[in-house]
């Protein structure tokens, strides 16, 4: 897998570049981000395969964009991949909490979508918009994704994690069951054991 990300200014936090520094500019490096994305992708997908990543900071306020190139194990075409993504639904346990959308992926057919300005608010900012799904040279599938980085990637993810912990029966001072249906259906990490009861 190869990915290039175009990450919004809001993802940099207070110590990141100021908007005026990025007017008419792209910064082709974000410290530690390439290694983090590569490791997280392998962990989430459960694969032991190379993941090459290039990250950039771009003059967009909110919404990260990623161009992803996949070499799949079998011959598939763009429409087949789009159909699989369209059909994807979160498991009932993971789709149950109020902050999480029933359809975490939204597939767009327009050739110029997704775009951060138009698509970052899908599913109240918690849905990943996917488009430009196509075959490219070398037997690869290419696609483009947009997600709201400060909602799905930060604040909304914190709320979703708390909702999932509650759904799994975790309360402060009480251990979380590792055998719950949600735990096996979700890639969200378990909360740390409380320091005191």
pLDDT value at position 196?
38
| pLDDT tens per residue across span 55-98 | 999 999 999 999 999 998 788 899 999 999 999 998 887 777 88
Give the integer Cα–Cα distance in Å for 13 and 30: 12
Buried residues in 172-196 as b, exposed as e (16+ CB within 10 A): eeeebeeebebbeebeeeeeeeeee
| 118-129 average pLDDT score | 96
Nearest to 67 by CA among 139, 120, 121, 141: 141
Give per-residue pLDDT as tens, 84-96.
999 999 888 777 7
Name which CATH class applies to 2-150: alpha beta
């Amino acid at each position: 897998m190869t990915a290039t990300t175009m990450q919004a200014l809001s993802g940099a936090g207070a110590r990141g570049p100021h908007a005026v520094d990025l007017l008419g500019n792209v910064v082709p490096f974000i410290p530690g981000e390439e290694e983090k994305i590569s490791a997280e992708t392998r962990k989430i997908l459960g694969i032991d395969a190379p993941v090459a990543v290039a990250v950039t900071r771009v003059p967009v306020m909110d919404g990260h964009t990623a161009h992803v190139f996949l070499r799949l194990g079998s011959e598939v075409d763009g429409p087949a991949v789009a159909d699989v993504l369209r059909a994807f639904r979160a498991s009932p346990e993971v789709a149950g909490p109020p902050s999480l959308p029933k359809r975490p992926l939204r597939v767009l057919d327009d050739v110029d979508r997704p775009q951060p300005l138009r698509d970052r608010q899908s599913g109240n900012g918690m849905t990943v918009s996917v488009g430009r799904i196509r075959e490219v040279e070398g037997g690869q599938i290419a696609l483009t994704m947009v997600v709201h980085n400060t909602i799905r990637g930060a604040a909304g993810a914190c709320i979703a994690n708390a909702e999932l912990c509650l759904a799994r029966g975790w309360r402060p001072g009480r251990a979380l069951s590792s055998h719950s249906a949600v735990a096996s259906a979700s890639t969200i990490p378990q909360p740390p054991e409380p320091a005191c009861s």
